[in-house]
Protein backbone atom coordinates (compact mmCIF):
# COMPACT_ATOMS: atom_id res chain seq x y z
CA UNK A 1 0.00 0.00 0.00
CA UNK A 2 1.40 3.36 -0.98
CA UNK A 3 1.20 5.99 1.72
CA UNK A 4 -0.47 9.34 1.17
CA UNK A 5 2.87 10.99 1.67
CA UNK A 6 4.42 8.92 -1.12
CA UNK A 7 1.54 9.83 -3.44
CA UNK A 8 2.00 13.51 -2.59
CA UNK A 9 5.76 13.23 -3.25
CA UNK A 10 5.13 11.51 -6.57
CA UNK A 11 2.67 14.22 -7.60
CA UNK A 12 5.19 16.92 -6.63
CA UNK A 13 7.99 15.35 -8.68
CA UNK A 14 5.66 14.97 -11.69
CA UNK A 15 4.78 18.63 -11.34
CA UNK A 16 8.47 19.52 -11.12
CA UNK A 17 9.22 17.55 -14.24
CA UNK A 18 6.31 19.13 -16.04
CA UNK A 19 7.38 22.62 -15.06
CA UNK A 20 10.94 21.91 -16.06
CA UNK A 21 9.78 20.67 -19.45
CA UNK A 22 7.68 23.77 -19.95
CA UNK A 23 10.69 25.89 -19.12
CA UNK A 24 12.91 24.03 -21.54
CA UNK A 25 10.27 24.21 -24.21
CA UNK A 26 10.09 27.97 -24.02
CA UNK A 27 13.86 28.24 -23.84
CA UNK A 28 14.20 25.80 -26.76
CA UNK A 29 14.49 28.44 -29.49
CA UNK A 30 17.54 29.86 -27.78
CA UNK A 31 18.94 26.42 -26.94
CA UNK A 32 18.47 25.17 -30.49
CA UNK A 33 19.96 28.38 -31.85
CA UNK A 34 22.95 28.03 -29.54
CA UNK A 35 23.55 24.43 -30.55
CA UNK A 36 23.11 25.12 -34.26
CA UNK A 37 24.94 28.44 -34.57
CA UNK A 38 27.47 28.40 -31.72
CA UNK A 39 27.98 25.09 -29.97
CA UNK A 40 27.88 22.99 -33.10
CA UNK A 41 30.42 25.13 -35.00
CA UNK A 42 32.70 25.11 -31.96
CA UNK A 43 32.71 21.32 -31.90
CA UNK A 44 33.05 21.21 -35.69
CA UNK A 45 36.05 23.55 -35.61
CA UNK A 46 37.71 21.29 -33.05
CA UNK A 47 37.24 18.33 -35.36
CA UNK A 48 38.39 20.30 -38.41
CA UNK A 49 41.54 21.35 -36.57
CA UNK A 50 42.63 17.72 -36.83
CA UNK A 51 41.71 17.48 -40.51
CA UNK A 52 42.88 18.66 -43.89
CA UNK A 53 39.85 20.68 -44.92
CA UNK A 54 39.42 23.22 -47.69
CA UNK A 55 35.68 23.86 -47.20
CA UNK A 56 34.65 22.50 -50.59
CA UNK A 57 35.89 18.90 -50.37
CA UNK A 58 35.28 16.49 -47.47
CA UNK A 59 37.58 16.80 -44.49
CA UNK A 60 40.37 14.23 -44.15
CA UNK A 61 41.72 13.26 -40.75
CA UNK A 62 45.41 14.13 -40.35
CA UNK A 63 45.83 14.09 -36.59
CA UNK A 64 48.00 16.82 -35.12
CA UNK A 65 49.63 17.76 -38.45
CA UNK A 66 47.97 21.16 -38.54
CA UNK A 67 49.14 22.05 -35.03
CA UNK A 68 52.61 20.76 -35.81
CA UNK A 69 52.82 22.76 -39.03
CA UNK A 70 51.63 25.99 -37.45
CA UNK A 71 53.95 25.70 -34.47
CA UNK A 72 57.08 24.45 -36.23
CA UNK A 73 57.03 25.39 -39.92
CA UNK A 74 54.84 28.38 -40.57
CA UNK A 75 56.88 31.55 -40.19
CA UNK A 76 53.78 33.73 -40.51
CA UNK A 77 52.17 32.06 -37.48
CA UNK A 78 54.88 33.34 -35.15
CA UNK A 79 54.99 36.68 -36.94
CA UNK A 80 51.24 37.11 -36.47
CA UNK A 81 51.49 36.05 -32.83
CA UNK A 82 54.30 38.53 -32.23
CA UNK A 83 52.32 41.33 -33.90
CA UNK A 84 49.25 40.55 -31.85
CA UNK A 85 51.24 40.28 -28.63
CA UNK A 86 52.89 43.61 -29.35
CA UNK A 87 49.53 45.20 -30.01
CA UNK A 88 48.00 43.74 -26.84
CA UNK A 89 51.00 44.62 -24.66
CA UNK A 90 50.80 48.29 -25.48
CA UNK A 91 47.16 48.89 -26.30
CA UNK A 92 45.68 47.30 -23.16
CA UNK A 93 47.44 49.40 -20.52
CA UNK A 94 47.22 52.53 -22.64
CA UNK A 95 43.50 52.05 -23.15
CA UNK A 96 42.95 51.45 -19.43
CA UNK A 97 44.94 54.53 -18.48
CA UNK A 98 43.22 56.67 -21.11
CA UNK A 99 39.80 55.44 -20.05
CA UNK A 100 40.60 56.09 -16.39
CA UNK A 101 41.73 59.62 -17.10
CA UNK A 102 38.64 60.32 -19.20
CA UNK A 103 36.36 58.83 -16.55
CA UNK A 104 37.97 60.97 -13.84
CA UNK A 105 37.52 64.05 -15.99
CA UNK A 106 33.92 63.20 -16.83
CA UNK A 107 33.11 62.56 -13.19
CA UNK A 108 33.07 66.27 -12.50
CA UNK A 109 29.94 68.24 -11.72
CA UNK A 110 30.26 70.78 -14.49
CA UNK A 111 27.74 72.45 -16.75
CA UNK A 112 27.38 70.55 -20.00
CA UNK A 113 29.16 67.44 -18.69
CA UNK A 114 26.51 65.22 -20.24
CA UNK A 115 27.30 66.63 -23.65
CA UNK A 116 30.98 65.81 -23.14
CA UNK A 117 30.10 62.31 -22.02
CA UNK A 118 28.06 61.79 -25.19
CA UNK A 119 30.83 63.13 -27.40
CA UNK A 120 33.45 60.91 -25.84
CA UNK A 121 31.25 57.87 -26.13
CA UNK A 122 30.24 58.28 -29.79
CA UNK A 123 33.47 56.77 -31.23
CA UNK A 124 32.77 53.56 -29.33
CA UNK A 125 29.49 53.01 -31.15
CA UNK A 126 30.77 53.94 -34.60
CA UNK A 127 31.24 51.10 -37.08
CA UNK A 128 34.76 49.67 -37.06
CA UNK A 129 35.00 49.87 -40.84
CA UNK A 130 33.97 53.52 -40.90
CA UNK A 131 36.48 54.32 -38.16
CA UNK A 132 39.20 52.50 -40.06
CA UNK A 133 38.49 54.46 -43.24
CA UNK A 134 38.60 57.68 -41.28
CA UNK A 135 41.94 56.85 -39.71
CA UNK A 136 43.45 55.91 -43.09
CA UNK A 137 43.02 59.57 -43.94
CA UNK A 138 44.30 60.78 -40.59
CA UNK A 139 47.44 58.67 -40.91
CA UNK A 140 48.24 59.73 -44.45
CA UNK A 141 51.90 60.80 -44.33
CA UNK A 142 51.35 63.78 -46.63
CA UNK A 143 47.83 65.02 -46.21
CA UNK A 144 46.80 63.45 -42.91
CA UNK A 145 45.76 65.72 -40.06
CA UNK A 146 48.15 64.09 -37.60
CA UNK A 147 51.27 64.84 -39.62
CA UNK A 148 50.01 68.30 -40.50
CA UNK A 149 49.62 69.12 -36.80
CA UNK A 150 53.01 67.59 -36.02
CA UNK A 151 54.51 69.62 -38.84
CA UNK A 152 53.14 72.83 -37.32
CA UNK A 153 55.11 72.14 -34.15
CA UNK A 154 58.27 71.29 -36.01
CA UNK A 155 58.06 67.50 -35.89
CA UNK A 156 58.39 65.48 -39.07
CA UNK A 157 55.66 62.88 -38.81
CA UNK A 158 56.44 59.25 -39.62
CA UNK A 159 55.02 57.28 -42.53
CA UNK A 160 52.56 55.61 -40.11
CA UNK A 161 50.73 52.87 -42.04
CA UNK A 162 53.37 52.82 -44.77
CA UNK A 163 56.15 52.15 -42.28
CA UNK A 164 57.07 48.75 -40.92
CA UNK A 165 58.15 50.38 -37.66
CA UNK A 166 55.23 52.77 -37.16
CA UNK A 167 52.29 50.72 -38.45
CA UNK A 168 51.55 48.95 -35.16
CA UNK A 169 51.99 52.10 -33.01
CA UNK A 170 49.59 53.79 -35.41
CA UNK A 171 46.94 51.15 -34.80
CA UNK A 172 47.57 51.27 -31.05
CA UNK A 173 47.06 55.03 -31.14
CA UNK A 174 43.89 54.52 -33.11
CA UNK A 175 42.59 52.07 -30.52
CA UNK A 176 42.66 54.83 -27.90
CA UNK A 177 39.93 56.62 -29.78
CA UNK A 178 37.40 53.95 -28.98
CA UNK A 179 37.77 53.64 -25.20
CA UNK A 180 34.16 54.69 -24.63
CA UNK A 181 33.02 51.26 -23.51
CA UNK A 182 35.77 51.21 -20.87
CA UNK A 183 35.43 54.66 -19.37
CA UNK A 184 31.68 54.29 -19.08
CA UNK A 185 32.28 51.30 -16.78
CA UNK A 186 34.85 53.28 -14.80
CA UNK A 187 32.51 56.23 -14.53
CA UNK A 188 29.83 54.02 -13.06
CA UNK A 189 32.42 52.65 -10.65
CA UNK A 190 33.58 56.12 -9.66
CA UNK A 191 30.06 57.22 -8.95
CA UNK A 192 29.62 54.22 -6.69
CA UNK A 193 32.51 55.11 -4.41
CA UNK A 194 31.35 56.25 -0.99
CA UNK A 195 32.09 59.98 -0.50
CA UNK A 196 32.83 59.39 3.15
CA UNK A 197 36.06 57.68 2.19
CA UNK A 198 37.29 60.85 0.51
CA UNK A 199 36.11 62.91 3.48
CA UNK A 200 38.21 60.68 5.71
CA UNK A 201 41.26 61.54 3.64
CA UNK A 202 40.40 65.22 3.89
CA UNK A 203 40.23 64.92 7.62
CA UNK A 204 43.69 63.38 7.62
CA UNK A 205 44.85 66.24 5.34
CA UNK A 206 45.62 63.95 2.42
CA UNK A 207 46.19 65.32 -1.09
CA UNK A 208 44.57 64.40 -4.43
CA UNK A 209 47.20 61.79 -5.19
CA UNK A 210 46.61 60.00 -1.90
CA UNK A 211 42.89 60.05 -2.57
CA UNK A 212 43.48 58.57 -5.99
CA UNK A 213 46.00 55.94 -4.92
CA UNK A 214 44.41 54.83 -1.67
CA UNK A 215 40.71 55.27 -2.40
CA UNK A 216 39.89 55.60 -6.09
CA UNK A 217 42.13 52.92 -7.50
CA UNK A 218 41.35 50.20 -4.94
CA UNK A 219 37.63 50.88 -5.14
CA UNK A 220 37.81 50.81 -8.91
CA UNK A 221 40.04 47.73 -9.08
CA UNK A 222 37.19 45.27 -9.77
CA UNK A 223 36.15 47.32 -12.78
CA UNK A 224 39.76 47.60 -13.93
CA UNK A 225 40.17 43.86 -13.53
CA UNK A 226 37.06 43.23 -15.62
CA UNK A 227 38.20 45.59 -18.38
CA UNK A 228 41.66 44.03 -18.29
CA UNK A 229 40.23 40.56 -18.94
CA UNK A 230 37.95 41.86 -21.70
CA UNK A 231 40.82 43.91 -23.11
CA UNK A 232 43.08 40.87 -23.37
CA UNK A 233 40.37 38.88 -25.12
CA UNK A 234 39.57 41.71 -27.56
CA UNK A 235 43.18 42.66 -28.28
CA UNK A 236 44.03 39.13 -29.24
CA UNK A 237 41.15 39.22 -31.69
CA UNK A 238 42.09 42.44 -33.47
CA UNK A 239 41.05 42.08 -37.12
CA UNK A 240 39.16 44.99 -38.69
CA UNK A 241 42.09 47.38 -38.81
CA UNK A 242 44.30 44.90 -40.64
CA UNK A 243 41.50 43.89 -42.98
CA UNK A 244 40.42 47.40 -43.94
CA UNK A 245 43.52 49.52 -43.54
CA UNK A 246 46.71 47.58 -44.13
CA UNK A 247 45.94 44.04 -45.38
CA UNK A 248 48.65 42.89 -43.02
CA UNK A 249 51.37 45.14 -44.44
CA UNK A 250 53.76 46.70 -44.78
CA UNK A 251 55.94 43.60 -44.75
CA UNK A 252 53.50 41.70 -42.53
CA UNK A 253 54.05 44.18 -39.69
CA UNK A 254 50.27 44.33 -39.10
CA UNK A 255 49.54 40.73 -39.92
CA UNK A 256 47.57 40.05 -36.75
CA UNK A 257 46.69 36.60 -35.57
CA UNK A 258 42.99 36.56 -36.41
CA UNK A 259 43.60 38.26 -39.75
CA UNK A 260 46.12 35.58 -40.62
CA UNK A 261 43.61 32.97 -39.45
CA UNK A 262 41.10 34.46 -41.87
CA UNK A 263 43.66 34.45 -44.71
CA UNK A 264 44.51 30.82 -44.05
CA UNK A 265 40.90 29.77 -43.91
CA UNK A 266 39.30 31.76 -46.70
CA UNK A 267 42.09 32.85 -49.04
CA UNK A 268 44.43 29.89 -48.84
CA UNK A 269 41.60 27.38 -48.32
CA UNK A 270 43.34 25.80 -45.34
CA UNK A 271 40.37 25.71 -43.00
CA UNK A 272 41.91 22.85 -41.04
CA UNK A 273 44.97 24.83 -40.03
CA UNK A 274 42.83 27.94 -39.54
CA UNK A 275 40.74 25.93 -37.07
CA UNK A 276 43.87 24.80 -35.29
CA UNK A 277 44.92 28.46 -35.04
CA UNK A 278 41.56 29.25 -33.49
CA UNK A 279 42.02 26.62 -30.82
CA UNK A 280 45.58 27.69 -30.11
CA UNK A 281 44.24 31.22 -29.64
CA UNK A 282 41.54 29.93 -27.32
CA UNK A 283 44.13 28.17 -25.17
CA UNK A 284 46.38 31.23 -25.11
CA UNK A 285 43.57 33.54 -24.04
CA UNK A 286 42.43 31.00 -21.45
CA UNK A 287 45.92 30.78 -20.00
CA UNK A 288 46.27 34.57 -19.80
CA UNK A 289 42.85 34.86 -18.22
CA UNK A 290 43.61 32.20 -15.63
CA UNK A 291 46.90 33.93 -14.79
CA UNK A 292 44.99 37.18 -14.29
CA UNK A 293 42.49 35.47 -12.02
CA UNK A 294 45.27 33.85 -10.03
CA UNK A 295 46.96 37.16 -9.34
CA UNK A 296 43.74 39.13 -8.97
CA UNK A 297 43.57 38.57 -5.23
CA UNK A 298 46.82 40.48 -4.83
CA UNK A 299 45.50 43.74 -6.22
CA UNK A 300 41.74 43.56 -6.75
CA UNK A 301 39.70 44.81 -3.80
CA UNK A 302 36.15 43.65 -3.32
CA UNK A 303 34.35 45.41 -0.55
CA UNK A 304 32.75 42.20 0.63
CA UNK A 305 34.97 39.40 1.93
CA UNK A 306 38.28 40.00 0.06
CA UNK A 307 41.76 41.09 0.96
CA UNK A 308 42.37 44.81 0.61
CA UNK A 309 45.56 46.55 -0.53
Binding mask 57-96 for other proteins (x = CB under 8 A): x------------------x--------------------
Say how far apart CA 205 and CA 111 lie, in whole Å.
29
CA dihedral sign of residues 241, 247, 250, 253: positive
Residues touching other proteins: how many (CB under 8 A)? 34
Shortest CB 2 distance to other proteins, Å = 24
CA dihedral sign of residues 252, 258, 261, 267: negative
Q: Within a 10 A sphere around the Cβ of 292, how many other Cβ atoms?
A: 14
Binding mask 143-182 for other proteins (x = CB under 8 A): xx------x----x--x--x--------------------
CA distances to 103, 192, 205, 214, 267 from 188, in Å? 9, 6, 27, 19, 44
Stretch that binds other proteins, among 28-36, 112-120, 228-236, 274-282 (CB under 8 A): 28-36
Q: Which is nearer to other proteins, 117 or 264 (CB)?
A: 264
Q: Which is nearer to other proteins, 23 or 93 (CB)?
A: 23
State yes or no: residue 222 binds other proteins (CB under 8 A). Answer: no
Stretch that binds other proteins, among 5-13, 21-29, 192-200, 283-291 (CB under 8 A): 21-29
User: What contacts 201, CB < 8 A, 6 or more positions away?
Assistant: 210, 211, 214, 215
CA distances to 18, 32, 34, 47 from 40, in Å? 28, 10, 8, 11
For residue 182, which phi and psi values (nearest 5 degrees)?
-85, -50
Shortest CB 271 distance to other proteins, Å = 9
State yes or no: residue 38 binds other proteins (CB under 8 A). Answer: no
Binding mask 238-277 for other proteins (x = CB under 8 A): ---------x-xxxx----------x--xxxxx-------
For 132-138, which contacts have Cβ atoms below 8 Å and span 24 or more sequence positions?
A: 132/240, 132/241, 132/244, 132/245, 133/244, 135/170, 135/174, 135/177, 135/245, 136/161, 136/244, 136/245
Shortest CB 248 distance to other proteins, Å = 9
Q: Which is nearer to other proteins, 121 or 135 (CB)?
A: 135
Shortest CB 279 distance to other proteins, Å = 20
Shortest CB 150 distance to other proteins, Å = 11
Mutual orientation of helices 180-191 and 113-121 as an angle, nearest 10°? 140
Chain residues in the site for other proteins (CB under 8 A): 22, 25-26, 28-29, 32, 52, 54-57, 76, 136-137, 140-144, 151, 156, 159, 162, 247, 249-252, 263, 266-270
Amino acid sequence: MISKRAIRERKKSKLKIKRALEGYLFASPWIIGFIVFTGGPIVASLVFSFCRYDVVTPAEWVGISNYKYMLTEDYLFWKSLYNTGYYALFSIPLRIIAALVIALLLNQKLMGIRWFRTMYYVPAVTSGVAVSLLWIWLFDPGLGLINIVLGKIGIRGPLWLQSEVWSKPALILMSLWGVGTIWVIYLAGLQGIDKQLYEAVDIDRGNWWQKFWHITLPMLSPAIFFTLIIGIIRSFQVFTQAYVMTQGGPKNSTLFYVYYLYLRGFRMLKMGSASSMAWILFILILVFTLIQFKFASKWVYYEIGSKSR
